[in-house]
Amino acid sequence: GDTLACRERIGGFAALGAGIAHDLAQPLTAARGHLARSRTAEALATARTAASQADQEIKRAGDIVGHLRNYARQGQPNLSQVRLDDLLADLHQLVDTAIRAGAVNYSVDVDESTAATAIDVDRILVQQILRNLVQNAIDAHAGDPDGKAEPHIEASVRLTDDQHVEFRISDNGPGVAPGDDPFAAFDTQKCEGLGLGLYVGRSLARVHGGNLWLITDHRKWATVFVLRLPCSGQSEQPAGPPPVADVSAVDA
C-alpha cells in the first residue's frame, strides 16, 4: 500500500534524476565551449555572441534542474504546449550519439499535419520516457550480436483520435522472451545504466493520464512499445491499451 507507493515514488525520482543528470552534460559542455570561444575571440562582437550562447545553455541546464525539483515537490507533470515534431527532435538529439555508436538504422514516421500538432505534456518527462525506450532497443540489439537483420529502430507518431496521441518505438531486435514481464517493478536485466526502467516509464505515462504498453505480435517488428498520451492535459482516467483485435495492426 503506502510503503509500495512511497518506494515507487522514491525509485521513480532516483531514476529520473540519473537520466536528467546525464542529459545535463550536453548544455554544460556546450556552455564551456562557448565560454572558451568568447575568451579567445579577437572581435568584441564575437565574444559577446559566444557569451550569450553560453548563457542560453546554462539557462537550459538550470531549467532542467528546476523541473526535476518541482516534480519532486508536486509529483505532477508540468504541462505546456509542445509540438510533436519538437518532441521528436528532442528525442533524436538525446539518442543520436548512442544510435551512431550502435550503428543502428533509426527512422521517424510521422505525417506533416501530425508533426505540426501541439499537445499538452510535460516535455522533460516525455523526453525521458521516449529516450529510455529507444535506449532499451539499442541495448537489445547490442546484446544480440548474432542477429541477422540490420539493427533498425523506428519512432512513429499517430493521432489516434481527437483526444489521444500514440508514440510507437519499434525495433527488429531479439524481442522479449516468453514469460518475461519487462514492466516488473524494481526489476532490471541491466546492472548499471541511466535508464528510467519501464516500470517507472509507465508510471510517468499514467501520471499524464496516459499509458505505456508492449506489443509482441506485430507482423513487422519484434517489439513495439506504445506510449499513449492525452492531447490536452490530464485525462480523468489513465488511457488503457486499445482492444486486443487492434494492437497487432500494422501502421500505414
pLDDT in tens, 188-214: 444 344 446 788 888 889 888 999 999
pLDDT score for 235: 55
pLDDT digits (tens, 9 = 90+) for 58-105: 987 887 787 777 777 777 788 899 999 999 998 998 888 889 888 999
CA distance 88 to 148: 28
Between the CA atoms of 121, 122, 128 and 132, what dihedral angle is there, to the nearest 10 degrees? -30
CA distance 131 to 118: 20
Between the CA atoms of 140, 141, 146 and 150, what dihedral angle is there, to the nearest 10 degrees? 150
pLDDT digits (tens, 9 = 90+) for 127-174: 889 988 998 899 888 877 777 778 999 999 999 887 899 999 999 988
| Structure-block grid coordinates of residue 51 | 557569451
Share of the chain above pLDDT 90, in %: 31
